[in-house]
Amino acid sequence: MQEQPITVYGTRWCIDCYRAKKILDKYQVPYHWIDINRDADAKTIVGKINNGKYIVPTLVFKDGSTLSEPSNQELRNKINQEFNSQDA
């Protein structure tokens, strides 16, 4: 299985998680979704990234950079940067 360039940590009930996934889907960006309510290790990772807070969505990119609760524009800018997409 090929490694996905983005890991999205979130929860099923989170509106911001839904919004981030919708943007990634729109631009056909592959990602790996992990529900932190179903994966204790993932919840720990999110806490470490966000100084003890369980902020979702938290996105981790292949280069190790992260975005936590990004705005639509922040996420589009990062997609453009990561994938050199002209239409992001």
Does residue 74 fall inside a structural domain?
yes
User: How many structural domains are present in the chain?
Assistant: 1
Does residue 39 fall inside a structural domain?
yes
Does residue 24 fall inside a structural domain?
yes
Does residue 1 fall inside a structural domain?
no
Question: Taking a C-beta distance cutoff of 8 angstroms, is the pair 14, 59 a contact?
Answer: no
Neighbours of 63 (CB within 10 A): 9
Q: What is the CA radius of gyration of the chain?
A: 12
Closest CA to 9 of 51, 30, 39, 52: 39
Give the CATH number of the domain where residue 28 resides: 3.40.30.10
**What pLDDT was estimated at residue 82?**
86
**What pLDDT was estimated at residue 40?**
97
Q: How far apart are the first and last CA of the chain?
A: 26
**What pLDDT was estimated at residue 4?**
76
Using 50, 70 and 90 to split pLDDT, how confident is the model at 3?
low
Q: Which domain holds residue 62?
A: 6-83
pLDDT at 87 over 90: no
pLDDT at 86 over 50: no
Using 50, 70 and 90 to split pLDDT, how confident is the model at 64?
very high
Whole-model pTM: value is: 0.89
